[in-house]
Structure 1
Amino acid sequence: MTIPVYPDDLPRPLRDGYGRVFPDGRARAQQDAGPPRSVRRFSSAAQRVSLVTTLTRDQGARLLRFWVEDTAGGSLPFLMPDPTAHGWPLLTAAGTPLLTEAGAPILLGAWWLVLFGDQPPQEAATGIRFRYSFTVAVMP
């Protein structure tokens, strides 16, 4: 079985609406007295990332088909480019892009293995386009 890949014909998620909750593998131990105590419960945990994207009607249908068919209604993991890193140029300490010998910028490649969050993608009309919001759990 191959792992589905998030459709590359859909635009990158928006910065407005992006949010990441870092993994928390701690358990809180109840104390009779003194400060609360945390102990490690898991060696690794998933990150929760909120994503928002604005799509045309056709692109929205493509996202829905990916949700229904490729991920079996959001129950299967899939690969997705990291929207904060994938495709961005690699920079020097001074902030200028590193270039290949041909003069093209060297781009970062960063992929996530993710699952859709607890809720299916949500759609809201915004003019002639549609705003889709969803969460993913980035696997450690």
Structure 2
Amino acid sequence: MNHRTLAALALASLVALSGACSSAADTEAPDLWVATEVTVPPTAQERIDAAKDPRPRPPRASQPTSADLWRSTLDAQWFDLGVEGQAEICDSWRTLGNAEAHTLLLVPDTISAYEVGEKLEGELCLDYPG
């Protein structure tokens, strides 16, 4: 059976079931309506026709990279470290450098140790003088 036949069979079964239920119900009971949406996958010909359609398609939204995700969640991760964890990372960064901070913060490889150092120096470690 193909998808269209299954969808038609399901719809017919639903109509028959709702008809049987409404005839079995007494006259004082409120009518119940069931709304269903049947999605039928396109046929091969419909997919071919859609591919040949000359109208421009809407652009796909770009997926964020691991670097973008890290940048957007860094502040939350930094807050979750607590004061002691933040101080430890700032001390390690000052004594051992950007690479150590990069490792301690579990930064993706797509973000440079330099960028991590810039973020620590410019924003995050200002409250922790060293």
The TM-score range, normalised by the shorter chain, is under 0.3
Larger radius of gyration: 2
Q: Which has the higher contact order (CA 8 A, sep 6+)?
A: 1
- Larger strand proportion of the pair: 1
How does the TM-score come out when normalised to structure 1? 0.19
